[in-house]
Structures are given as C-alpha cells and as structure tokens.
C-alpha cells in the first residue's frame, strides 16, 4: 500500500481577519473609474490615501492611520489634477511624499504633513511636477532600492525620472499598444511589463533595450506580472477560452511557462500582489468577493485558501511589510476598497498558539532607507534594498525632501542647440506648435527691444547739453573770423572747413 503524504507548509491555515467597522474608514466617495492598471488606494506606515470621484477633476484624500471611523463631509483633499487620477504611490523612503498620476499626462509629487491635511492642497501646491508624457499616465512605480527614481507608464511609453531634478532620464518606447502592468525586480536592475498585444517584456530600464519577450496569455483580458525572485516571474491572465490562470516563468527562458495553474472561468479582471518575504501570491478578481492566495514553491504553485466577504472589492492597498503587527502573527495587511465608500483593513494571519515573536514568519524585510542615491543608479550601480529585523519593530525615519532647483542663466537668444528630430507624428506636431510659440515670443521680444532702443535714443537726445556745446564752438570760431580778413566770412583759415553760422545759431537756440 502506497502511503500518501501531505505537503508541509506553515501557511496552510492562513486566514483573513477583517477589522471591525469602527476601525474602518467610512463615508468616502471612492472613484468609480474602471482603469485597473494602477492603484486607487495607497498605504504606508503613517497614512491611508484613496482616489475620490469627481470634485472638479482628479483628487484624492489622505488620512492618518489612526483617523478611523466615519469621515466628515468636506474633509481636506489633495486637489491634484485637471484629469482623473489613475494611480497614487507613496515614496518608500519618505513616508510624507506621495506621487499621483493622471489622465492629464502629469505626475505630481506632494508633501503631506505628519499630522495630516488641515486644508485642501490645490493643484499648484505640489512639490514638483514631472512633465513629459503626451498621453494619460496610468502606472507609476518607485525604484525599490535607489532614492528618488520613479518609473511611469503612459499608454505605450515608459519614462524613468530623476525626481529631484524633475527631468526624464530615459524614455522607453518599445510597446506597440497600451501597457497593462509594470514592475521592478528586487534590486531595480530590470523592469517587466505586460501589454495589450498579449506580450510580456523584460527591459533594461537604463538603456531601454528589450532583453526578452514572449506571449504570456492568449486571452483578451488584461494580464499582470510580478517578479518572484532574480530568476522567476509570475503572470496572471486568461486563455482563449476565458479561463483565468497563473503562469510561472524562468527569466532566462521565456519560450513557455515552467508551470501553469487554472483558477476558474469568472469574468473579472485579475489583480495580484506578491509577498516575496513569505512567497505568497494574492489574486483577486475586480468586482468579486473572494481573495485567493497561493504559495510559490520551487517550480510550482500551491493553492492555500480563500478569503470571502459579503461585499465586492474594487481594489486594494498593501501595507509595507515592515509596518505589520508581528504580535498577532500578521503576515500581510490588505486595505480593501468597497464600492460603498469604505476602506476595510484585512489582516492575513498565521494561527500560532504562542504570542511570542515567530522568527520563521518574519525574515528581514526592506526598511525605509535607500541603498543608493539616484546618481549612482543612473551611473550603472545596483544594490539590493537595505533590510531590517522585524523582531525589534519598526520606527519611521523622518526625512526632509527638497527639490533641486535648476537656475536658467540668461544666454544668447541666437545660440540655437541642434536637437534630434522627433520620430512620431504626434511628437512632430507638438514640436511644430512649440516652435510656433517660440517664434511668436521671439518676435514680441524683438519688438519690445526696438521700442526700448527708440525710447533710450529719445531720452539721450533730450538730455544732451546742446546749448553749452554751441556757445563753446562760437566762442572759439569768432576770434578766428575777426583776425583772418583774407578768408571768406564763416570759414576756418587753418583747417579750411566751412563753418555754418546758422548751424551755430540753431545749436544755441536748442
């Protein structure tokens, strides 16, 4: 008789524990936008932020973690953009800085006071604006280990930003269609994307070169991607028969998935979050009531369990790993967005009898200090995130955030730098209109300079002491005329130059 063995796993009995209603965030007009590429809820150790509906454009609310319960009407908001906000992300190395991306093509950075907002932050009160995209920006992702490096994805374009200078360092234009998802690897040396053309791509973010690409899921539903480790990827999507599925891939060989797992045949677009510290993948369908979680093995995906509630979810915010509560064996905390304007925290708990710290559940996790600065990363250096021990708890590192202002020196307007011509038609059209505006501005400048010159000439002419010059000339000429009787009247005997007395008289009159 063959004895069957049950696979050992310390996460087999993980369960979700929703917070009480009094500890949720209620009475929020959560956005009803259907875009699912970004995040409508962002959480860190200090704040909970959520994108709101309407309010004259794009706006979001920022609440301190302890400000729970029913929120009052007219709560202070960040009135961020002229278009709808599609993604918000907290800076992993500064808990007071949040970035927002919008349909207006702008990315804005905001500084939130530690005590929370006391008044509305208006559109012109952002710390800095990142201007470069010509279409709506749907995804933004901070670099996991380098300070002040941000990646943003528009419809078919990725830009790598140096946030402190507000300048785009690299523009990656290798996607023929809309980008569904974008993610960094652990040390930020690679970016992986999924696209509407059903392909996944691994890209070098500094050079913009595609290192590898393949078709990931054959279905028409949006697919999403994440790095498991240095050598593996996971994707979620659908097949041609609309079966939702999870694939594992080897980074070095994308000819076919190394493992596949069929989830179900439901119609909702899948959302995913991967906890690399414990190798658990959370998958949820948008508009559904169930969250599935899987454990990633060496080359296999194991289904653990599901969390089911009575209300559907529209998205999730994920609390950083260093801020969860190890005293109750919490391994993750998800902030569920309800359709009825509620943000509900859900603790994922591993049941243990002991209340002592469980070291097998809490390996070292990334802290809030960067491993390197932006300049070092742009120069080609890579480092893994600096990690902290969960045993001793986490304390937020307070940091300042000062943008480097670039002062433009006055230069010769005729010194024109030759630039590379745009390649795309829309860029050519944009450059044409910009050139027309520059020509118009130069004409106005030239016209104003001419008027200034005429004004100065008139003022200078009016200030000339003409009377004194005329008297001085006549006093020198008259003795010569009297003594030189052999010369014609009004002529100079030495120089032979004719002297016009009428001109002298006019000078005296003036």
Non-local CB neighbours of 482 within 8 Å, separated by 6+ positions:
none
Whole-model pTM: value is 0.78
HSE-CB at 234 with a 13 A cutoff on CA atoms is 28
Q: H helices within 256-397, ranges in order?
A: 374-378
Q: How far apart are CA 125 and CA 108, in angstroms?
A: 10
**Ranges of CATH 2.40.128 domains, the chain:** 186-279+295-301
Consecutive sets of 10 residues in the chain, 510 residues long: mean pLDDT of each?
A: 62 92 93 85 95 79 95 90 92 95 93 93 90 92 96 93 91 93 95 95 94 93 94 94 94 93 91 93 93 92 92 92 92 92 94 86 93 94 94 86 59 49 65 81 80 71 49 52 48 43 43
Q: How far apart are CA 252 and CA 230, in angstroms?
A: 10
What is the reported pLDDT for 495?
41
What is the reported pLDDT for 50?
95
CA 455 to chain centre: 49
Q: How far apart are CA 22 and CA 30, in angstroms?
A: 19
DSSP conformation class of 392:
G
Q: Which of 212, 102, 80, 87 lies closest to 142, judged by CA? A: 87
Q: Which of 178, 184, 180, 177 lies closest to 160, judged by CA? A: 184
Structure tokens at 477: 């000429």
Non-local CB neighbours of 213 within 8 Å, separated by 6+ positions:
199, 200, 201, 202, 254
Structure tokens at 453: 């010159």
Structure tokens at 72: 């009052």
What is the reported pLDDT for 488?
46
Does residue 61 contact residue 53 with C-beta atoms inside 8 Å?
A: no
Under CATH, to which class is 186-279+295-301 assigned?
Answer: mainly beta
What is the reported pLDDT for 490?
43
Under CATH, to which class is 20-173+355-407 assigned?
Answer: mainly beta
């Amino acid at each position: 008789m063959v004895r069957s063995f049950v696979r050992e796993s310390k996460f087999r009995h993980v369960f979700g524990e929703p917070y009480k209603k009094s500890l949720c965030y209620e009475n929020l007009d959560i956005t009803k936008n259907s875009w699912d590429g970004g995040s409508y809820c962002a959480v860190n150790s200090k704040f909970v932020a959520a994108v709101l509906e309407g309010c004259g454009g794009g706006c979001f609310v920022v609440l301190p973690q302890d400000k729970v319960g029913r929120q009052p009407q007219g709560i202070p908001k960040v009135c961020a953009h002229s278009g709808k906000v599609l993604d918000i992300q907290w800076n992993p190395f500064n808990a007071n800085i949040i970035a927002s991306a919008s349909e207006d093509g702008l990315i804005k950075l905001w500084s939130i006071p530690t005590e929370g907002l006391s008044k509305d932050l208006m559109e012109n009160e952002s710390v800095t604006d990142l201007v470069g995209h010509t279409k709506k920006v749907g995804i933004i992702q901070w670099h996991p280990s380098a300070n002040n490096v941000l990646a943003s994805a528009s419809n078919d374009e990725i830009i790598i930003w140096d946030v402190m200078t507000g300048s785009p360092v690299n523009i990656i234009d290798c996607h023929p269609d809309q980008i569904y998802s974008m993610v960094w690897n652990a040390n930020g040396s690679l970016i992986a994307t999924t696209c509407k053309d059903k392909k996944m791509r691994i890209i070098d973010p500094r050079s913009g070169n595609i290192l590898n690409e393949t078709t990931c899921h054959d279905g028409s539903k949006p697919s999403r991607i994440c790095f498991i480790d240095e050598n593996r990827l996971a994707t979620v999507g659908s097949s041609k028969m609309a079966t939702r599925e999870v694939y594992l891939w080897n980074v070095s060989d994308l000819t076919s998935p190394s493992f596949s797992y069929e989830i179900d045949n439901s119609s909702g677009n899948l959302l995913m979050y991967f906890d690399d510290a414990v190798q658990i993948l959370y998958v949820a369908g948008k508009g559904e009531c169930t969250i599935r979680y899987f454990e990633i093995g060496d080359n296999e995906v194991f289904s653990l369990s599901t969390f089911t509630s009575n209300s559907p979810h529209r998205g999730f915010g994920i609390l950083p790993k260093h801020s969860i509560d190890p005293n109750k064996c919490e391994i993750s905390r998800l902030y569920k967005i309800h359709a009825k304007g509620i943000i509900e925290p859900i603790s994922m708990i591993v049941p243990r009898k002991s209340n002592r710290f469980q070291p097998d559940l809490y390996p070292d996790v990334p802290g809030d200090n960067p491993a390197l600065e932006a300049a070092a990363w742009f120069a080609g250096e890579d480092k893994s995130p600096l990690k902290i021990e969960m045993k001793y708890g986490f304390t937020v590192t307070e940091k300042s955030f000062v943008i480097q202002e670039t002062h433009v020196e006055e230069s010769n307007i005729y010194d024109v730098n030759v630039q590379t011509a745009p390649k795309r038609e829309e860029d050519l059209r944009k450059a044409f209109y910009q050139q027309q505006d520059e020509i118009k501005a130069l004409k106005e400048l030239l016209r104003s300079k001419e008027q200034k010159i005429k004004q100065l000439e008139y003022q200078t002419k009016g200030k000339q002491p003409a009377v004194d010059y005329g008297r001085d000339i006549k006093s020198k000429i008259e003795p010569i005329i009297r003594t030189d009787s052999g010369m014609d009247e009004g002529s100079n005997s030495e120089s032979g130059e004719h002297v016009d007395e009428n001109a002298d008289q006019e000078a005296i009159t003036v």
